[in-house]
Amino acid sequence: MLASAGFAVQADDAPVLAVLEYSGGLLPKRADILAKTGVVKSPFAGMPRTLWTLREGDTLRQDNTPPARFIKLVYLSGNTPQLLCNLVVRYTRGEKGWRPAYLLLQLPPTIWDGEKFIARPGMGTREPVQIVNPTEPAGDGFYHSLSFGLGSGPTQITTWEVQ
């Protein structure tokens, strides 16, 4: 009956790990980050924003704690991919199941060697990504919703990778 109404439900669809969002116009623009390993091109490439928000993804209903995941957010500096930040996703028990919570990791400067990001010691410190949340973290620095950006101005998110 759902298929006839235009809805396709597949058992192998990955749950939504997080929702990346920015405010613009009347309604916020959103993209689902699925709990599916691999690199995904962002629909926001070429759209720099001062503030990005990571909203809570799907609540999982299962007995055991879902495994922690990692999300790498990448932007382009010229034609070179740069790592904006890493996010750790872990699940906390809620009334309706396991809720994702996010921790932003600050990383040393890195460069893209054509295959992966490698640390560049001695480059000084890269500008840190700033958390701009009006609420306190849920616990151990993890937030159920996380707003962040660079203090120097807008940045874009061109790809993300889920691990």
Per-residue confidence (pLDDT) for residue 92, from 0 to 100: 92
Rounded CA separation 91/156 (Å) = 27
Per-residue confidence (pLDDT) for residue 15, from 0 to 100: 95
> What is the percent of the chain where pLDDT is above 90?
51
What would the pLDDT profile of 97-150 be if each residue is shown by its tens digit? 999 999 998 765 566 677 776 766 544 445 678 888 767 787 688 999 999 988
Q: Is the pLDDT of residue 93 over 60?
A: yes
pTM over 0.85, yes/no: no
Per-residue confidence (pLDDT) for residue 123, from 0 to 100: 46
Per-residue confidence (pLDDT) for residue 9, from 0 to 100: 41
What would the pLDDT profile of 4-26 be if each residue is shown by its tens digit? 333 344 445 899 999 999 987 77
Angstrom CA distances, 48 to 45, 63, 111, 131, 150, stand at 8, 40, 20, 17, 11
Task: Tell me, letter by letter, the H, E, C secondary structure of 117-148.
Answer: EEECCCCCCCCCEEECCCCCCCECCEECCEEE
Per-residue confidence (pLDDT) for residue 80, from 0 to 100: 83
Q: Among 27, 22, 21, 95, which Cα is nearest to 57's?
A: 21
